[in-house]
Amino acid sequence: MKSLLLMLSSIGLLLLVLTSCASSEENASEKKEDQQLDKDQTSEQEKTNDEKSNNDSNSSDTKTPPKKKDSLQKIVDNMNINEKIAQMMFIGLEGTSLSKEEAELIRTEQVGGVILLGGNIQNKNQLLQYIQSIKKANKNSHTPLMLGVDEEGGRVSRIPDEIANFPSNQYIGKYANDSLSHRIGELLAQKVQAFGFNVDFAPVLDIHNNPQNRVIGDRSFGSTPEKVSKLGIGTMEGIQSEGVIPVVKHFPGHGNTTKDSHISLPQVDKPIVEIKQEELIPFKQAIDEGAEMVMVAHILYSALDQKYPATLSERIITDLLRNEMGFEGVVITDDMSMGAITQNYGMEEAAVLSIRAGTDMFMLTSSGDGNYDRVKKALKQAVKQGTIAEESLDKSVKRILTLKKKYKLSHEPPKGIDVSSLNQKIREVIDQLK
């Protein structure tokens, strides 16, 4: 019995030792695993920290510095409301020489541009002196003037008769030669540039698709979008090549009207599909080929805007011309002194509507008799009331200054003109049309 108890005791002691060893080994294993896990976590954290440090370092190295404002934007930012509005005004003058009042207006207001019409021009010497006096009045302005003239050729030619004139666009259109049109564009630019002009309100991109239309008529290159696009763009590029700003006109198209917008408001009732297949094609192609300035017409296109003519229509200027057709240049109105506007709107009301619609430059050939001051006052009030956002003025002025800079407009007076040489070049081209 005693031996049995001794044996059982020995077995129990052996089991206790074995259990203790197993427990110690298990604890040691668990401890080792915990230590390895801690080590792995520490290593992973260190790796993460290293990566973060490297990323931060790389981010610091490649961080883009704040974008600096360009010089033109700085000019715009430093302009007050009066100066911004003035840059957006393209004014006309009275008579054949610059009056003291007009010189003072140009000097103090620093308007964006001046246009001379047929009644302002008599002969070569008179025009040279006139342009010199205009530039002199503006010499202290922070930006040179746009000096514009209608020189299309044919019956719309303002340059003095001492310089030879081209046949009408309709006549040129018979030849359908875009290289010849490019050369004509070059010479149109040389004609206006010789007198100090830097803007030519040409070419006409209207399609003559209404035989009863006498306003456009032979000013158009033809009755198809293809011909008008081909020859109009050729002329436009020729003008550009000589450092003169061409203004394509009359958007969205003046060729299918019967009324004269100088007298009353024309209306076109074509469906949108037809407008896009005809009238808009030359303008769209010109935009794609680098048109930088577009004149908008006083025409009511009922399918595009039932209420406002193109010059006052946000749907046409902003939605169609800019957003849909992709035009990023300067938009200028046709003359706001024309009957289409004055018979239906007050000049001040028209100015506010037009600028709000997206116009960059407001043409006012009748700037005298207080008209300029009234328009300026109306626009200032509209900005103050929030009807026109000052930000939109900033964008317009930036576009205007960008175009002036690109074409290197200056305060320098015209250097004179070699009449004989220019006439010879023009006649050489005219001979090719016979």
Q: What letter does residue 408 receive in the DSSP assignment?
A: T
Query: What is the full DSSP assignment across 230-255?
Result: HHHHHHHHHHHHTT-EE-EEEET-ST
- In this prediction, residue 64 has a pLDDT band, given cuts at 50, 70 and 90, of low
Contact 268, 309 (CB under 8 A): no
Give the pLDDT confidence score for residue 325 in this predicted structure. 98
The structure's pTM equals: 0.84
Give the pLDDT confidence score for residue 28 in this predicted structure. 41
- Amino acid at site 280: L
What percentage of the chain exceeds 90 in pLDDT?
Answer: 76
| Model pLDDT for residues 276-312, shown as the tens digit of each residue | 999 999 999 999 999 999 999 999 999 999 999 999 9
Residue 295 forms beta bridges with which residues?
Answer: 332
pLDDT tops 50 at residue 333 = yes
Please give the mean pLDDT across all residues of the chain.
87
**Long-range pairs, 343-352, Cβ under 8 A, ≥24:** 343/264, 343/265, 344/265, 345/312, 347/371, 347/374, 347/375, 348/374, 348/375, 348/377, 348/378, 349/378, 350/311, 350/312, 351/375, 351/378, 351/379, 352/378, 352/379, 352/382, 352/387, 352/388
| Model pLDDT for residues 134-171, shown as the tens digit of each residue | 999 999 998 999 999 999 999 999 999 999 999 999 99
pLDDT tops 80 at residue 18 = no
pLDDT tops 50 at residue 217 = yes
CA dihedral 187, 191, 192, 193 (to 10 degrees): 80
Give the pLDDT confidence score for residue 41 in this predicted structure. 38
- In this prediction, residue 36 has a pLDDT band, given cuts at 50, 70 and 90, of very low
Mind telling me the catalytic residues? 262, 334
How confident is the model over 68-96, as a mean pLDDT? 93
| Model pLDDT for residues 235-270, shown as the tens digit of each residue | 999 999 999 999 999 999 999 988 888 888 999 999
pLDDT tops 60 at residue 200 = yes
Residue ranges and CATH numbers for the domains of the chain are 83-422 (3.20.20.300)
Cα dihedral sign for 325, 331, 334, 337?
Answer: positive
